[in-house]
Protein backbone atom coordinates (compact mmCIF):
# COMPACT_ATOMS: atom_id res chain seq x y z
CA UNK A 1 0.00 0.00 0.00
CA UNK A 2 1.25 3.51 -0.70
CA UNK A 3 0.17 7.10 -0.17
CA UNK A 4 0.30 9.96 -2.63
CA UNK A 5 1.19 13.61 -2.03
CA UNK A 6 -0.84 16.42 -3.58
CA UNK A 7 1.70 16.59 -6.43
CA UNK A 8 0.93 12.98 -7.42
CA UNK A 9 4.09 11.27 -6.12
CA UNK A 10 3.62 7.76 -4.68
CA UNK A 11 5.33 7.07 -1.34
CA UNK A 12 5.62 4.01 0.93
CA UNK A 13 2.82 3.64 3.47
CA UNK A 14 3.71 5.37 6.75
CA UNK A 15 5.94 8.03 5.15
CA UNK A 16 5.81 11.39 6.92
CA UNK A 17 7.15 13.37 3.95
CA UNK A 18 7.13 12.86 0.17
CA UNK A 19 10.35 11.22 -1.05
CA UNK A 20 10.27 13.35 -4.21
CA UNK A 21 9.09 16.84 -3.23
CA UNK A 22 9.35 16.88 0.57
CA UNK A 23 5.68 17.74 1.13
CA UNK A 24 4.30 16.66 4.54
CA UNK A 25 2.05 13.64 4.05
CA UNK A 26 -0.32 14.27 6.98
CA UNK A 27 -3.23 14.80 4.60
CA UNK A 28 -1.99 12.57 1.78
CA UNK A 29 -4.33 11.16 -0.82
CA UNK A 30 -4.66 7.37 -1.11
CA UNK A 31 -3.37 5.89 -4.36
CA UNK A 32 -6.18 5.91 -6.89
CA UNK A 33 -7.40 9.40 -5.96
CA UNK A 34 -6.83 11.93 -8.69
CA UNK A 35 -3.91 14.29 -8.28
CA UNK A 36 -4.06 17.86 -9.54
CA UNK A 37 -3.18 18.26 -13.19
CA UNK A 38 0.37 19.44 -13.86
CA UNK A 39 0.87 22.97 -15.19
CA UNK A 40 2.12 21.87 -18.62
CA UNK A 41 3.16 18.62 -20.30
CA UNK A 42 6.84 18.12 -20.95
CA UNK A 43 10.18 17.60 -19.29
CA UNK A 44 12.49 19.85 -17.31
CA UNK A 45 16.17 18.88 -17.14
CA UNK A 46 17.91 19.29 -13.77
CA UNK A 47 20.78 21.83 -14.02
CA UNK A 48 22.65 19.97 -11.26
CA UNK A 49 22.54 16.28 -12.29
CA UNK A 50 20.86 16.31 -15.75
CA UNK A 51 17.95 14.08 -14.71
CA UNK A 52 14.63 14.44 -16.55
CA UNK A 53 11.76 15.73 -14.40
CA UNK A 54 8.10 16.35 -15.15
CA UNK A 55 7.41 19.92 -16.17
CA UNK A 56 6.15 21.93 -13.22
CA UNK A 57 8.24 20.12 -10.59
CA UNK A 58 10.02 22.50 -8.20
CA UNK A 59 12.74 20.07 -7.12
CA UNK A 60 14.71 17.40 -8.99
CA UNK A 61 13.43 13.92 -8.18
CA UNK A 62 16.98 12.56 -8.43
CA UNK A 63 19.16 15.03 -6.47
CA UNK A 64 16.71 17.51 -4.88
CA UNK A 65 18.14 20.57 -6.65
CA UNK A 66 15.84 23.52 -7.33
CA UNK A 67 14.65 23.35 -10.94
CA UNK A 68 15.20 26.65 -12.71
CA UNK A 69 12.37 26.10 -15.22
CA UNK A 70 9.72 25.42 -12.58
CA UNK A 71 6.73 27.78 -12.76
CA UNK A 72 6.54 30.67 -10.33
CA UNK A 73 4.49 30.03 -7.21
CA UNK A 74 2.12 32.86 -8.12
CA UNK A 75 1.12 31.20 -11.41
CA UNK A 76 0.66 27.72 -9.98
CA UNK A 77 -0.09 27.70 -6.25
CA UNK A 78 0.22 24.29 -4.63
CA UNK A 79 0.12 22.59 -1.27
CA UNK A 80 3.93 22.34 -1.50
CA UNK A 81 4.33 26.11 -1.61
CA UNK A 82 2.10 26.64 1.43
CA UNK A 83 3.75 23.82 3.34
CA UNK A 84 7.32 25.00 2.74
CA UNK A 85 7.82 26.97 5.98
CA UNK A 86 6.50 24.10 8.12
CA UNK A 87 7.54 20.80 6.54
CA UNK A 88 9.96 21.49 3.69
CA UNK A 89 13.47 22.59 4.35
CA UNK A 90 16.81 21.84 2.81
CA UNK A 91 19.88 20.02 4.12
CA UNK A 92 22.01 22.30 6.24
CA UNK A 93 24.81 22.53 8.78
CA UNK A 94 24.33 24.55 11.97
CA UNK A 95 27.30 25.80 14.02
CA UNK A 96 26.69 24.90 17.68
CA UNK A 97 28.42 27.96 19.16
CA UNK A 98 26.40 30.65 17.35
CA UNK A 99 23.61 28.87 15.39
CA UNK A 100 25.00 30.07 12.05
CA UNK A 101 23.36 28.01 9.29
CA UNK A 102 24.89 26.83 6.01
CA UNK A 103 22.38 25.78 3.31
CA UNK A 104 23.52 22.66 1.44
CA UNK A 105 20.57 22.45 -0.96
CA UNK A 106 21.25 21.83 -4.64
CA UNK A 107 24.85 20.72 -4.13
CA UNK A 108 26.40 17.30 -4.63
CA UNK A 109 29.72 18.09 -2.93
CA UNK A 110 30.46 20.64 -0.21
CA UNK A 111 33.97 21.54 0.99
CA UNK A 112 34.19 22.52 4.67
CA UNK A 113 37.19 24.43 5.99
CA UNK A 114 38.47 27.94 6.41
CA UNK A 115 39.26 30.67 3.94
CA UNK A 116 42.85 31.41 2.94
CA UNK A 117 43.06 34.12 0.24
CA UNK A 118 46.85 33.75 0.02
CA UNK A 119 46.48 30.09 -1.02
CA UNK A 120 43.30 30.88 -3.01
CA UNK A 121 41.21 28.53 -0.83
CA UNK A 122 37.53 29.44 -0.48
CA UNK A 123 35.54 26.51 0.97
CA UNK A 124 31.76 26.24 0.48
CA UNK A 125 31.34 26.21 4.28
CA UNK A 126 33.84 28.74 5.64
CA UNK A 127 34.30 28.31 9.38
CA UNK A 128 36.79 31.20 9.71
CA UNK A 129 34.19 33.56 11.25
CA UNK A 130 33.17 30.79 13.67
CA UNK A 131 36.60 30.42 15.34
CA UNK A 132 37.77 28.06 12.62
CA UNK A 133 41.42 29.08 12.75
CA UNK A 134 41.59 29.30 16.57
CA UNK A 135 39.79 25.97 16.97
CA UNK A 136 41.92 23.92 14.59
CA UNK A 137 39.91 23.74 11.36
CA UNK A 138 42.13 22.97 8.36
CA UNK A 139 41.82 25.02 5.18
CA UNK A 140 40.26 22.01 3.40
CA UNK A 141 39.12 19.99 6.41
CA UNK A 142 36.26 17.77 5.20
CA UNK A 143 33.83 17.17 2.33
CA UNK A 144 30.13 16.42 2.41
CA UNK A 145 28.98 14.22 -0.46
CA UNK A 146 25.28 14.42 -1.29
CA UNK A 147 23.56 11.92 -3.57
CA UNK A 148 19.78 12.34 -3.43
CA UNK A 149 18.82 11.51 0.16
CA UNK A 150 22.19 9.89 0.98
CA UNK A 151 24.72 12.02 2.86
CA UNK A 152 28.37 11.16 3.50
CA UNK A 153 31.20 13.05 5.17
CA UNK A 154 34.87 12.50 4.36
CA UNK A 155 37.87 13.82 6.31
CA UNK A 156 40.33 15.39 3.87
CA UNK A 157 43.41 14.34 5.88
CA UNK A 158 42.93 17.28 8.23
CA UNK A 159 45.43 18.10 10.97
CA UNK A 160 42.90 17.96 13.84
CA UNK A 161 40.58 15.27 12.46
CA UNK A 162 36.84 15.01 11.77
CA UNK A 163 34.46 13.29 14.19
CA UNK A 164 30.88 12.08 13.69
CA UNK A 165 29.03 11.66 16.98
CA UNK A 166 32.43 11.65 18.74
CA UNK A 167 33.81 8.87 16.54
CA UNK A 168 37.05 9.82 14.74
CA UNK A 169 36.92 9.30 10.96
CA UNK A 170 39.70 7.73 8.98
CA UNK A 171 41.00 10.17 6.32
CA UNK A 172 39.53 9.82 2.82
CA UNK A 173 36.87 7.27 3.91
CA UNK A 174 33.31 8.49 3.12
CA UNK A 175 31.11 7.86 6.16
CA UNK A 176 27.28 8.01 6.10
CA UNK A 177 25.60 10.68 8.24
CA UNK A 178 21.96 11.25 9.09
CA UNK A 179 19.70 13.98 10.37
CA UNK A 180 20.80 15.21 13.81
CA UNK A 181 24.37 13.86 13.66
CA UNK A 182 27.07 15.92 15.33
CA UNK A 183 30.13 16.76 13.24
CA UNK A 184 33.25 18.05 14.96
CA UNK A 185 36.05 19.58 12.90
CA UNK A 186 38.97 20.37 15.18
CA UNK A 187 37.05 21.92 18.08
CA UNK A 188 34.21 23.43 15.97
CA UNK A 189 30.96 21.54 16.49
CA UNK A 190 28.25 21.44 13.81
CA UNK A 191 24.90 19.66 13.63
CA UNK A 192 23.79 18.17 10.33
CA UNK A 193 20.10 18.49 9.41
CA UNK A 194 18.91 16.48 6.41
CA UNK A 195 15.62 18.38 6.15
pLDDT tens, residue by residue, 94-142: 999 999 999 988 889 999 999 999 999 999 999 999 999 999 999 999 9
Whether residue 130 lies inside any domain: the answer is yes
Q: What is the pTM of this model?
A: 0.55
Whether residue 53 lies inside any domain: the answer is no
- The domain tally of the chain equals 1
Whether residue 68 lies inside any domain: the answer is no
82 vs 28 pLDDT, higher one: 28
Cα distance between residue 33 and residue 1, in whole Å: 13
Q: Would you state the pLDDT for residue 58?
A: 67
Q: Would you state the pLDDT for residue 35?
A: 36
Whether residue 170 lies inside any domain: the answer is yes
- CATH number at 116 reads 2.60.200.20
DSSP annotation string for 101-134: EEE-TT-SEEEEE--BGGGTB--SEE-GGGTTTT
Cα distance between residue 134 and residue 170, in whole Å: 23
Q: Would you state the pLDDT for residue 28?
A: 38
Q: Would you state the pLDDT for residue 90?
A: 82
Is the pLDDT score of 2 beyond 50? yes
Whether residue 110 lies inside any domain: the answer is yes
Q: Find the domain containing 97 and state its range.
A: 92-193
Question: Where do the DSSP E strands lie in 15-164?
Answer: 29-30, 43-45, 52-54, 92-95, 101-103, 109-113, 125-126, 140-147, 150-155, 162-164
pLDDT tens, residue by residue, 31-74: 444 333 333 346 777 666 666 766 666 666 655 666 654 443 33
pLDDT band at 76 (very low <50, low <70, confident <90, very high): very low
Do the Cβ atoms of 80 and 6 come closer than 8 Å? yes
pLDDT tens, residue by residue, 175-186: 999 999 999 999
Q: Would you state the pLDDT for residue 25?
A: 61
Whether residue 20 lies inside any domain: the answer is no
Amino acid sequence: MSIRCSQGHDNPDGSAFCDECGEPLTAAMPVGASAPASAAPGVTTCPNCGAANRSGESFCTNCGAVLTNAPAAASAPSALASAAPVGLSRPRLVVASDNATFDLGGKSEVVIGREDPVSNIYPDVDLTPHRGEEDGVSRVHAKLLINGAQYLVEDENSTNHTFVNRQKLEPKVPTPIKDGDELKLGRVVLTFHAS
